[in-house]
C-alpha cells in the first residue's frame, strides 16, 4: 500500500526584504549574506499575520486544490516552534478556521525545526495503521523565524507555512518505508518562555546539524535494500537531495558531509573518488542538492516548514523530469532530533505540482529596511491587513487574553468581486 503526500500548498507573507539592502543597513558586505549564507531575500510577516493565519491559509488552499471536504479530515497536526500560547494549541485555531469536523484528532507538535517531519511521520503511521479504512490527515508546518535586529541570526529569518494532505493516494510523494533517526540533548538553538526571539549558537548549531546528519544517514544507509554493490553509493539511487535549510549554505555544508560519508562507505567507490573529492562533491551538490534551494533562498528560514518548502519548490520546477525517481530528505531540529528518509515522485506529480510558491514570490512586495524594522518592532499586535494582502485569514489582535482571528475573501474572489 502506497502512503505519502497527496498534495502540498505553500503560503508565504506578502512582504519580502532583499538581503543586499539589509547588508547595506548593517554595514556588512552584501556577498556575506547572498553568497556566504546563500540568502537572496527573506519573507517578512506583518502584525496581522501569525503562524495560525499562515497555517490556515495554506490548509485552505491545499484542501480546495485537492477538492477535499474539510469534514473528512480525521487527523490535523500543526507543527511549529512559534507557538502563540503555552497551553492552547495552534492546531485548534486552525481546526476552527478551516471548518474541520469534530471527529478529528488534532494537536500541535514542537521539536524545533524537526516537528514538521514528526507530524508527517505520525500522520503516515496513522494512515498505515488504518489499513483499508479511508483515512486522510492534514499536516501543516508553520513558522516565523525571528532573531534580534542587528544580531548574527537576523539575515536567516523568514516566514511561511506548508500544508500537506497525507493519505493513501500520494500524488506528490510516495514515502519510503524506512527512516534513519538521531537524537541528542544539545543547546544549539532555543527560545526560553517569555522571549519572542530565539537564541542561537549558530556555529555550534552547524556542528550539531552535521553530527545528526551523519548519525541519521548512517542508520538509514544500513537499512537500505537491496544491499549496495561494492562500488555503489546511495547517491546513485536518488535524483535529488533535500535538506532542512535554515540558510542555503547549510544545505551545501550538509551535502558535502553526506556525499563524503556515502562514498567512504563504499570502499571501491571511495578509492575512485578520494583523489578528486572536492571536485566530485561540488558536482554532486550542483546536481542533487542545489535544484531544491530556489524558493528557500527567497523566503528564508521557515523552521519546521523549511524542508517542505524545498520539496514544494522542487515539485513546481521539476516534477515532470523527476517522475518515477527517488529523492532523499533530511530533517534536523535543534535540541536535537533528526531524520533521514526518502520518497518516490509518482507519475501523477505534474498534475499536483502547483503549490503556489512561484506565484506568491512573483506577486509579493519588497519593502525597505525601515519598513521591515517597523513591522518587526510592531510584533504580535494583530490588526487589519494592508492593501495587497494575499492571505485568507487575519489575526485581529488579543482581547481579554484571547486571540481573535477572522477570514477575508480569497484573492481570486476579491479580484472578481
Ligand atoms: N563574501 C562572501 N562570503 C562571506 C563574506 C564575504 N564578504 N564574509 C563572510 N562570508 C562567509 C563566511 O566565510 C561564512 O561562510 P562559511 O561558513 O562557508 O565559511 C559565511 O559567510 C557566514 O559567515 P559567518 O562569519 O560564519 O557568519 P556569522 O557568524 O555572522 O553568522 C550564522 C552565520 C549562520 C551562524 C548565523 O546567521 C546564525 O546563527 N543563523 C541562525 C541559524 C539557525 O537558525 N540555526 C538553527 C536552526 S538549524
State the CATH number of the domain containing residue 186.
Answer: 3.40.47.10
Phi and psi, residue 208, nearest 5°: -60, -40
Q: What is the average pLDDT score of the chain?
A: 96
Lowest mean pLDDT among 13-22, 120-129, 205-214, 374-383: 374-383
Q: What is the pLDDT of residues 272-282, one digit of tens each?
A: 999 999 999 99
In this predicted structure, what is the pLDDT of residue 1?
78
Q: How does residue 415 score in pLDDT terms, banded at 50, 70 and 90?
A: very low
Count the domains in the chain. Answer: 1
What is the rounded CA–CA span in Å between residue 61 and residue 41?
24
Q: How does residue 379 score in pLDDT terms, banded at 50, 70 and 90?
A: confident
Q: How does residue 206 score in pLDDT terms, banded at 50, 70 and 90?
A: very high
Distance from Cα 201 to the centre of ligand 1, integer Å: 12
Distance from Cα 203 to the centre of ligand 1, integer Å: 8
In this predicted structure, what is the pLDDT of residue 411?
58
In this predicted structure, what is the pLDDT of residue 416?
43
Residue nearest to atom 22 of ligand 1 (CA): 36
Please give the DSSP secondary-structure letter assigned to residue 36.
I
Phi and psi, residue 31, nearest 5°: -65, -25
> What average pLDDT score do residues 2-16 get?
97
Span between the terminal Cα atoms of the chain, in Å: 44
pLDDT for 32 beyond 50 = yes
Please give the DSSP secondary-structure letter assigned to residue 333.
E
Q: The cell 539575515 sits on which residue?
A: 155
What is the rounded CA–CA span in Å between residue 44 and residue 35?
20
Sign (positive or negative) of CA dihedral 147, 358, 117, 258: negative
Q: Which three cell numbers stand for residue 6?
A: 497527496
Q: The cell 496581522 sits on which residue?
A: 48
Residue nearest to atom 5 of ligand 1 (CA): 32
pTM attached to this predicted model: 0.97
In this predicted structure, what is the pLDDT of residue 410?
60
Distance from Cα 196 to the centre of ligand 1, integer Å: 22
CA distances to 181, 340, 415 from 123, rounded to whole Å, are 17, 17, 36
Residue nearest to atom 20 of ligand 1 (CA): 36
> What average pLDDT score do residues 95-120 get?
98
pLDDT for 412 beyond 60 = no
Q: Which three cell numbers stand for residue 362?
A: 512573483
Within 13 Å and on the Cβ side, how many CA atoms surround 398? 10
* Mutate which of 143, 145, 202, 310 for ligand 1 pocket (most atoms within 8 A of beta carbon): 202
- 264-269: which pairs have CB atoms within 8 A and are 24 or more residues apart? 265/218, 265/221, 265/228, 265/233, 265/234, 266/228, 266/230, 266/231, 266/232, 266/233, 267/230, 268/230, 268/231, 269/230, 269/231, 269/232, 269/233
pLDDT for 414 beyond 60 = no
pLDDT for 320 beyond 80 = yes
In this predicted structure, what is the pLDDT of residue 386?
93
* Mutate which of 37, 210, 299 for ligand 1 pocket (most atoms within 8 A of beta carbon): 37
In this predicted structure, what is the pLDDT of residue 199?
93
Q: Is the CB of 245 under 6 A from ligand 1?
A: no
Distance from Cα 127 to the centre of ligand 1, integer Å: 40
Q: How does residue 59 score in pLDDT terms, banded at 50, 70 and 90?
A: very high
Residue nearest to atom 8 of ligand 1 (CA): 32
Percent of the chain with pLDDT over 90: 95
What is the rounded CA–CA span in Å between residue 267 and residue 225?
18
Range of the domain at 303: 4-416
> What average pLDDT score do residues 303-329 get?
98
Cβ neighbours, 10 Å, residue 169: 15
Three-state DSSP class for residue 197: coil
Q: Which three cell numbers stand for residue 335?
A: 535540541
Distance from Cα 306 to the centre of ligand 1, integer Å: 18
Residue nearest to atom 42 of ligand 1 (CA): 202
Q: Is the CB of 333 under 6 A from ligand 1?
A: no
Residue 329: CB partners within 8 Å, gap ≥ 6?
Answer: 241, 242, 243, 307, 311, 340, 341, 342, 343
Amino acid at each position: 500500500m502506497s502512503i505519502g503526500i497527496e498534495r502540498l500548498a505553500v503560503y508565504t507573507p506578502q512582504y519580502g526584504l532583499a538581503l543586499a539592502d539589509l547588508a547595506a543597513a548593517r554595514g556588512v558586505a552584501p556577498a556575506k549574506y547572498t553568497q556566504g549564507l546563500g540568502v537572496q531575500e527573506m519573507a517578512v510577516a506583518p502584525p496581522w499575520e501569525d503562524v495560525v493565519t499562515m497555517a490556515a491559509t495554506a490548509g485552505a488552499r491545499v484542501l480546495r486544490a485537492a477538492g477535499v471536504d474539510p469534514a473528512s479530515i480525521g487527523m490535523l497536526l500543526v507543527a511549529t516552534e512559534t507557538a502563540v500560547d503555552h497551553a492552547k494549541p495552534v492546531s485548534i485555531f486552525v481546526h476552527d478556521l478551516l471548518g474541520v469536523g469534530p471527529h478529528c484528532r488534532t494537536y500541535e507538535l514542537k521539536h524545533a525545526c524537526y516537528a514538521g517531519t514528526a507530524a508527517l511521520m505520525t500522520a503516515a503511521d496513522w494512515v498505515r495503521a488504518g489499513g483499508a479504512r479511508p483515512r486522510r490527515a492534514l499536516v501543516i508546518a508553520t513558522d516565523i523565524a525571528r532573531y534580534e535586529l542587528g544580531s548574527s541570526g537576523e539575515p536567516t529569518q523568514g516566514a511561511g507555512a506548508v500544508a500537506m494532505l497525507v493519505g493513501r493516494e500520494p500524488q506528490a510523494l510516495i514515502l519510503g518505508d524506512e527512516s534513519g533517526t538521531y537524537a541528542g540533548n544539545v543547546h544549539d538553538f532555543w527560545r526560553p518562555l517569555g522571549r519572542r526571539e530565539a537564541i542561537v549558537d549558530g556555529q555550534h548549531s552547524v556542528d550539531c546539524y552535521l553530527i545528526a546528519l551523519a548519525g541519521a544517514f548512517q542508520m538509514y544507509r544500513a537499512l537500505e535494500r537491496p544491499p549496495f554493490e561494492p562500488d555503489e553509493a546511495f547517491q546513485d539511487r536518488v535524483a535529488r537531495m533535500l535538506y532542512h535549510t535554515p540558510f542555503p549554505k547549510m544545505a551545501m555544508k550538509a551535502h558535502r558531509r553526506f556525499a563524503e560519508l556515502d562514498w567512504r562507505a563504499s570502499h571501491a567507490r571511495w578509492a575512485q573518488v578520494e583523489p578528486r573529492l572536492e571536485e566530485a562533491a561540488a558536482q554532486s551538490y550542483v546536481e542533487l542538492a542545489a535544484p531544491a534551494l530556489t524558493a528557500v533562498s527567497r523566503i528564508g528560514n521557515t523552521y519546521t516548514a523549511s524542508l517542505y518548502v524545498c520539496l514544494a519548490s522542487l515539485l513546481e520546477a521539476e516534477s515532470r523530469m523527476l517522475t518515477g525517481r527517488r529523492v532523499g530528505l533530511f530533517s534536523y531540529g535543534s535540541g536535537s532530533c533528526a531524520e533521514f528518509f526518502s520518497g518516490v515522485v509518482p507519475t501523477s506529480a505534474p498534475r499536483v505540482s502547483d503549490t503556489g510558491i512561484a506565484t506568491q514570490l512573483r506577486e509579493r512586495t519588497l519593502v525597505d529596511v525601515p519598513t521591515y524594522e517597523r513591522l518587526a518592532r510592531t510584533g504580535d499586535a494583530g490588526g487589519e491587513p494592508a492593501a495587497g494582502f494575499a492571505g485568507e485569514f487575519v489575526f485581529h489582535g488579543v482581547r481579554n487574553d484571547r486571540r481573535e482571528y477572522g477570514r477575508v475573501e480569497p484573492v481570486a474572489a476579491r479580484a472578481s468581486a
